[in-house]
């Protein structure tokens, strides 16, 4: 199986542009980036599908190697449906943000800045855990109880 170089270049450009747009602060650009990533993924699945072949309908006279693999087509169809749902969801978020605040950019607030300034050390999570973590205390069994149990 040989890979189409043009398809790989287009796929790489779509991935690069999609990642660049996702890192922006504008929700519209994030949506466009997600759409580009979905299309690049569809091209990736198409490239892994191999050469075009016959429809996967059974015929005794056809060699099994001449058939086309239907799995990449099913994966692309599933990817299209998922990307449509994500696009519709993001369009709803963008519309609601525009209707409420008349802006498309995501703003930093005081809580974001406070979280960014906190140190990475957490006293509870990073403390040394003792060997015995049971909530029941370990007590010594009296010698009389040991002798009674062995009889």
* Inside any domain, residue 147: no
Q: State the Cα–Cα distance between residues 35 and 20, nearest whole angstrom.
A: 12
CATH number at residue 14: 1.10.287.3510
Residue 107: per-residue pLDDT: 77
* Inside any domain, residue 137: no
CA distances from 93 to 27, 90, 145 (A): 8, 5, 69
Beta-bridge partner residues of 67: 54
Burial (Cβ within 10 Å: 0-12, 13-18, ≥19) of residue 30: buried
Task: State if pTM tops 0.75.
Answer: no
* Inside any domain, residue 112: no
pLDDT in tens, 85-125: 999 999 999 999 888 888 887 777 788 888 888 877 666 66
* Inside any domain, residue 63: no
- 55 touches 68 (CB < 8 A): yes
Range of the structural domain that residue 93 is part of? 1-51+69-101
pLDDT in tens, 45-92: 988 887 776 666 767 777 777 777 788 889 999 999 999 999 999 999
Q: How many domains, in total, are found in the chain?
A: 1
* Inside any domain, residue 151: no
């Amino acid at each position: 199986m040989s890979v189409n170089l043009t398809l790989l270049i287009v796929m790489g450009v779509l991935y690069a542009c999609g990642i660049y747009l996702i890192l922006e602060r504008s929700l519209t650009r994030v949506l466009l980036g997600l759409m580009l990533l979905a299309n690049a993924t569809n091209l990736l699945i198409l490239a892994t599908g191999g050469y075009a072949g016959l429809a996967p309908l059974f015929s005794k006279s056809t060699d099994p190697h001449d058939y086309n693999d239907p799995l990449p087509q099913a994966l692309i169809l599933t990817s299209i449906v998922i990307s449509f749902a994500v696009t519709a969801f993001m369009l709803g978020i963008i519309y609601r943000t525009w209707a409420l605040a008349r802006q498309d950019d995501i703003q930093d607030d005081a809580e974001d800045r406070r979280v960014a300034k906190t140190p990475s050390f957490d006293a509870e999570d990073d403390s040394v855990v003792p060997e015995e973590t049971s909530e029941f205390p370990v007590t010594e069994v009296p010698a009389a109880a040991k002798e009674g149990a062995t009889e």
